[in-house]
Amino acid sequence: MEPAGIYEQIHQFSNRADPYPLYAELRGTPVSRQEDGSYVVSTYREIVALLHDPRVSSDRRNLAHPPAAAEGLPAAFIGLDPPEHDRLRRLTMRHFGPPHAPGKVDGMRAELLEIITGLIDGIADRKRADIVDDIAYPFPVTVICRLLGVPREDEPRFHVWAEEIVETLGPGEGDMAERARRRQAAVLALGRYLGELAEAHRRDPGDDLLSGLVTDDGPDGPMSATEVITTAAMLLVAGHETTVNLVTNGMLTMLRNPWLLERLRKEPDLVVHTVEELLRFEPPVQFLPQRVALDDITVAGVTIPKGSSIVLALASGSRDPAHVQDPDRFNPDRAYNQHLGFGGGVHHCFGAPLARLEAQIALGELARRLVNPRLVADPPAYRPSSTLRGPRHLDIEYDHVTPRDNQR
């Protein structure tokens, strides 16, 4: 059997805890062709150029050999190109951010603080907790449910589908056809659930985002029923799964760097720069595996043929020493920190403002209220996905929890 190539090794579960030395090797060839004909781009400058290149598509139907059409939902706008992408993104943004709802995210600050305070209170009578199960998962799930208008008590239903969608995203170990089948089944189940919920909101709309999507008749026209479902599914899954990883990776990084915990207690505003450095250093999204060349594109001396699949290794690019000094050191004091944690171009992460705020509030409060927190095991147990990378559990011990009355 041939030894696995560097890119293939990154996706092996045995390397999930620390793929970064492999990324350093991968950058030795900025654009590398894989056995399946795809091209992996691993250096910062080249990734940024492709993120903004109109010859790069997000629509898999543009592949030279597109996958056979399967029964199920079409792609959400994250998997479409302009102008379809732009229309659906505008319709969604009308209920989430500028220019129509400029204070939507920042206006949630007090509510987010109350949610995270309640979760930390919930572990105050113990000396041990799992940051994932007790804090990092329920926090963004509660937030996205309230924002979208999804009943929080339905979490056990959609959790199974969301996890299946995430764990079968992008390259990975196991049979690819079986992974695709599992993913399609989960997408269909989630779509049926959200379709029923959307219809209920159409009959009795509230002030939530899902109600806005089904009742909006603005200048771009209304979304179709299918577009509402695909958009809601994307927001529900992406709206919590990536933030779980961001908060958990952040807590792990703080525990590995006790000086950072101490600084955050003394300098609470440092959490803003801490989150930006986390997005560079331990990003929750490691790859963008769904890009296609619309024409022959020459990158770093390599010509990517029209119709080829392109994988952008975001986590590798953010640690590119040609872009950032001392890239393997966590440093929240970087004066210049342009990372790829939220992608870029027309597909720059839709929920970036909310994810930033959630992580800032969660990590700031955990640093402030947990007294002498420490890891139970390092490295922790990781989730299977190499694309959305993060610990499945993060068990910690601590002396006690500062009461909520000691607020800033």
- pLDDT band at 173, cuts 50/70/90? low
Phi, psi values for residue 39, rounded to 5°: -120, 125
Our CA angle for 314, 320, 321, nearest 5°, is 165
Q: Is the per-residue pLDDT at 218 higher than 90?
A: no
Look at strands 39-41 and 370-371 and give their pairing: unpaired
Burial class from Cβ neighbours inside 10 Å (0-12, 13-18, 19+) for residue 274 reads: buried
- pLDDT band at 1, cuts 50/70/90? very low
| pLDDT mean over 68-76 | 74
Q: How far is CA 335 from CA 87, 328, 331, 395, in A?
A: 36, 16, 10, 33
Q: How far is CA 33 from CA 39, 161, 267, 305, in A?
A: 4, 33, 46, 11
- pLDDT band at 69, cuts 50/70/90? low
CB of 145 within 8 A of CB of 152? Answer: yes
pLDDT at 4: 67
Burial class from Cβ neighbours inside 10 Å (0-12, 13-18, 19+) for residue 219 reads: exposed
In the chain, the N- to C-terminal Cα span, in Å, equals 60
Q: Is the per-residue pLDDT at 387 higher than 90?
A: yes
Domains of the chain, start order:
6-401 (1.10.630.10)
Q: Which has the higher per-residue pLDDT, 3 or 171? A: 171
- pLDDT band at 167, cuts 50/70/90? confident
| pLDDT mean over 141-163 | 93
Q: Is the per-residue pLDDT at 407 higher than 60?
A: no
Sheet of strand 31-33: strand arrangement: 31-33, 39-41, 309-312, 288-293, 56-57
Phi, psi values for residue 215, rounded to 5°: -110, -10
As a whole-number percent, the residues of the chain with pLDDT over 90 amount to: 79
Count of CA atoms in the C-beta half-sphere (13 A) of 364:
20
Look at strands 374-375 and 128-130 and give their pairing: unpaired
Which of these, 258, 254, 280, 277, lies nearest to 364 by C-alpha position? 254
Alpha-carbon distance of 202 to 179, in angstroms, equals 34
Q: Is the per-residue pLDDT at 307 higher than 80?
A: yes
